[in-house]
Amino acid sequence: MSNIHASKSRPRVLLLSKALVVGIYQRKLEEMARLGIDLLALTPPSWKDERGETNLERVYTTGYRLETVPIALNGNFHLHWYPGLAKRIEDFQPQIIHIDEEPYNLATWQALRIARKIGAKTLIFSWQNIRRVYPSPFSWGEGWTLSQVDHVLAGTQSAAHVWRAKGYAGPMTVIPQFGVDPDLFAPVLNPLSPADLEERARVFTIGYVGRLVEEKGIHLLLRAAARLDGEWRLRLVGSGPYWNALEALAQQLGIGDRLDRIEWVESAGMPMQYQKMDVLAIPSLTRLNWKEQFGRVITEAMASGLPVIGSDSGAIPDVMGSAGMIVPEGDIDSLTAALRRLRDDPAERARLGQAGRARVLAHFTHAQVAAATVRVYEQLLGTPIFG
């Protein structure tokens, strides 16, 4: 890594992110370090959500330090915090503290308060694309964060609009939280076995990857698939509280024997999952308190050369552009028609697969996200970091 500056001249950045328990996300940090950052990344040993507990996967750790920090109230999105964080920050003495948290979370307030104490520049990251009004103390903490932070990173343009509407007038840049590794997620990474290839040639396989929750619209996907004739299978990769309802619906629709569920896959094993699908469907539904914020699996699938069908919920159309098929959310007829079209037209599947990968290479790689993030660090420090 010869293009990394001498340690004493490299700006010190501390990144606090619970998302880094997922190994494939760590690739962005290697790219950031390669651009000239003395980077310390802190993440909890695990993170809990409705899918269960994800333990730290150490996958990409070259060129920077990835360390764990104890977490309190693990799984509580708003109230988790990090005992011992102050000492870790004071020992490292970062010039920038990058807080991968929303402005209304306790962990954000904790890290921002410590940063103010040592005089470090600060930035936060937000996916929030719905203008919510929170009760105290969250509304107070949100306002305090927006008055104190030096820069806001918004994952999408709609998230940026939310914070401008809430009165944030400071510097803000639209950058996804993470990108995709196009070498890991590629059309042919590990060739399928002869048996898998034979199955793929015979059976059209519809895929879904993500949380198994009602707002993801997976029940609509089951109903749409049930209208298809001929041979097909539905492959669900994920976990969550909605599984029992989905399994019951599949039995009710008479398609239980066509449904495959893969409950958990290590992040580095996901490329093979996409290679076992003919199309990925993300039929998300907008709710009062949620709409699709980005759709990371969409970019992974597109990088893998897999055509994607997505609803018009939230950021999905912006992520897919013209490189996928957009259907109105909640419209089973349109979803069925899209599935039928891609099943019956291999050439269209190939065209969309190629267009999707080209879009990822142009906009959504880890290297691109890392470079854009380091440009923000340059703004904060008022000095160039890389050419």
DSSP 163-196: HHHTT--S-EEE--S--B-TTTS-SSSSPPPHHH
How many domains does the chain contain in total? Answer: 2
The C-alpha atoms of residue 348 and residue 17 are separated, in whole angstroms, by 39
- 213 and 114 in one domain? no
pTM, rounded to two decimals: 0.89
> Does 205 lie in the same domain as 152?
no
Question: Residues 82, 47: one domain?
Answer: yes
Which domain range does residue 294 map to?
Answer: 194-363
24-65 tens-digit pLDDT: 999 999 999 999 999 999 999 999 988 889 999 999 999 999
Name the residue with higher pLDDT: 361 or 132: 361
Q: Do 127 and 162 share a domain, yes or no?
A: yes
Judgement on whether residues 74 and 201 belong to the same structural domain of the protein: no
Residue 171 shares a structural domain with residue 206: no
Nearest residue to 187 via CA among 273, 305, 297? 305
Q: How confident is the model at residue 295 (pLDDT cuts 50, 70, 90)?
A: confident
Same domain, 254 and 151: no
- CATH number of the domain residue 238 falls in: 3.40.50.2000
Contact 181, 31 (CB under 8 A): no
Which element (helix H / strand E) includes 244? Answer: helix 243-253
Look at residue 7 and tell me whether its pLDDT is greater than 50.
Answer: no
Q: What is the pLDDT of residue 210?
A: 93
Same-domain check for residues 201 and 333? yes
Say whether both 253 and 145 belong to one domain. Answer: no
Shared domain check, 164 and 213: no
Between the alpha carbon of residue 12 and those of residues 115, 156, 293, 377, the distances in Å are 13, 27, 30, 10
Query: What number is the average pLDDT over the span 131-152?
Result: 93
| Residues 218, 140 share a domain | no
Q: What angle do helix axes 27-34 and 366-381 make, rounded to 10 degrees?
A: 50
